Amino acid sequence: MSNTSSQLNLAGLSHRCAEETELFFRRAPYDPQFCYELFRLALVQRNQQAYAYLYTRYQPLVAGWIERHPSFITSGEETTYFTNRAFEKMWQAIKPEKFARFHDLKALLGYLKLCTASVIIDHARSHQHSLVDEEYSELTLEGYADSRGDLEGQTVRQGQQAQLWQLVSQRLTDERERTVVYASFVMAMKPAEVQQHYEHLFPDVKTVYRTKQAALDRLRRDSNMAQLYGEW
């Protein structure tokens, strides 16, 4: 009689997970309980060894998703970089209290695929940010985390930016100012694009420039903003 997942130690679980995965790929009947239990131990009990077994078991699957993504070839990164980020992201996103939402192995693997998709997007965003940063001659932005490289840095920078945007938007007086600052700096649109996109607010490009400078003047005169973020 075969063991159930609760009767096995970690090594046994890992072994049975591997066996059942092989059955799956041979299109034979398989039992997903062992792999699911490994996930539960890793994500609910934060068991590092279970996490390591899962990584070994599913690393090829995640690598396949990454390598088939059209952005992978031009990313300049190794598959392992994205694979590690995907597992890290799942580890951070599924806290013990969230695990109950995942009723079976398919749901967990589906979520791992979501994490994989999102790390590729994160990398593209980081590249976008570096292009914008390069346009500004002083590469070090005061008080900002370096978003290039690691998940933590990106998360910190996202938080800092959201906080700054909240401060800025509180100081804008009307819809036109809010629109022009949002479109110009948050969306990185050129003045002509802003005018075309928001024609009802800006009859001509000159109005875009004038409104934007009026908003920036107010931010420059704000001592709190100047103290936190320098000259605007």
Partner 1 sequence: MNCKHTSQFEDFELLLALNGDTDPITRTHVAQCPVCTARATHLKALEQRATALLFRADCPPALDLAEYQAGLAASDYSRVLQSHLANCSHCRAELVQIEAILAQPDPYLQPAEPLAGLKQQLARLTARLTGGGAGVPAPVGLRGQDDAPLIYNAGDTDLILSIHSDAAHTGYRTLTGLVLGLPDSDTATQISLLQQGAETSRTTLDSSGNFMLEHLLPGSYSLLLENTACTITILDLTI
| Residues 157-186 interacting with partner 1 (rule: CB under 8 A) | 158, 161-162, 164-165, 168, 181, 184-186
Exposure string of 148-165, with b = 16+ CB inside 10 Å and e = fewer, is eeeeeebeebeeebeeee
CB of 52 or CB of 187, closer to partner 1: 187
Structure token pair of residue 26: 């041979």
CB of 47 or CB of 59, closer to partner 1: 59
Q: Site for partner 1 (CB under 8 A): how many residues?
A: 74
Structure token pair of residue 46: 């934060």
Site string for partner 1, 55-84 (x = CB under 8 A): -----xx-xxx-xxxxx-------------
Does residue 168 contact residue 181 with C-beta atoms inside 8 Å? Answer: yes
Q: Which of 74, 138, 200, 227 binds partner 1 (CB under 8 A)?
A: 138
> By CB under 8 A, what part of segment 19-38 binds partner 1?
21, 23-30
Q: Does 97 participate in binding partner 1 (rule CB under 8 A)?
A: no
Report the C-alpha gap between 228 and 143 in whole angstroms: 8
Structure token pair of residue 18: 């591997």
Which residue type does 156 have? V
**Token match 């075309």: residue?**
196
Q: How many residues does the chain have?
A: 232
> By CB under 8 A, what part of segment 102-121 binds partner 1?
106, 109-111, 113-121
Q: Using the rule CB under 8 A, give the single segment among 1-9, 39-47, 75-83, 155-163 that binds partner 1.
A: 155-163
